[in-house]
Amino acid sequence: MIVWVNGAFGSGKTTLVEELHQRWPEALVYDPEMVGFVLRKIVEVPTGDFQDLRLWRRQVADLAVGLVEEYRCPLLVPMTLVDPCYVEEIFGPLKGADIEVHHFFLKVSREELAKRIDGRTFFPDDPERERQVRSWAKGRIEACMAAVDTLPGDTLFLDGELSPSQLADQVLNRVRTGA
């Protein structure tokens, strides 16, 4: 089983996955961003977004399938994924491998997302890189907000302004009971 926590940058994906992992320690945490970091060290990413690399999408799906099949543990995945074609390129192989996928999307207001992004520190020793990352994350807010209408029909939308504990209760209830 895979629990994919989706949402805009700053929506609380990683925080929610951390809360879920505390309550569900047998689950593995798999962050596809790490695949992107590895690829970025090996190949050029012309657009600057490793999600635009077909190899990234293929590797994300392949590694998720491998982790579930090899370790027989649930997988908790915090990752923004909003391009409908990219969603299909990753979720298609997961479902094709007969892996149950629970897809959650954290809905947070534009204003709150901007506030959260501004409140985070990414590179404290590199102000220019810090500015670039903040700008990049804020520049993705509109695309993430618009994606709500294009996500798979079985996506469960959550109020990302609830506490991580409240969100974890909702996710675990849905995953464990199907309700």
Q: Which tokens hold the place of 147?
A: 């994606």
How high is the mean pLDDT in each 10-residue block of the chain (179 residues)? 97 97 98 97 94 97 98 97 96 97 97 94 90 92 93 95 97 87
In angstroms, the CA 179 to CA 175 distance is 8
Q: Find, among 114, 49, 113, 122, the residue nearest to 82 by Cα.
A: 49
Are the C-beta atoms of 46 and 93 separated by less than 8 Å?
no
pTM: 0.94
Are the C-beta atoms of 38 and 53 separated by less than 8 Å?
no
* pLDDT number for residue 179: 58
CB atoms within 10 A of CB 175: 19
Domains of the chain: 2-160 (3.40.50.300)
Are the C-beta atoms of 81 and 115 separated by less than 8 Å?
no
Q: Which tokens hold the place of 148?
A: 């709500």
* pLDDT number for residue 103: 98
In angstroms, the CA 147 to CA 170 distance is 22
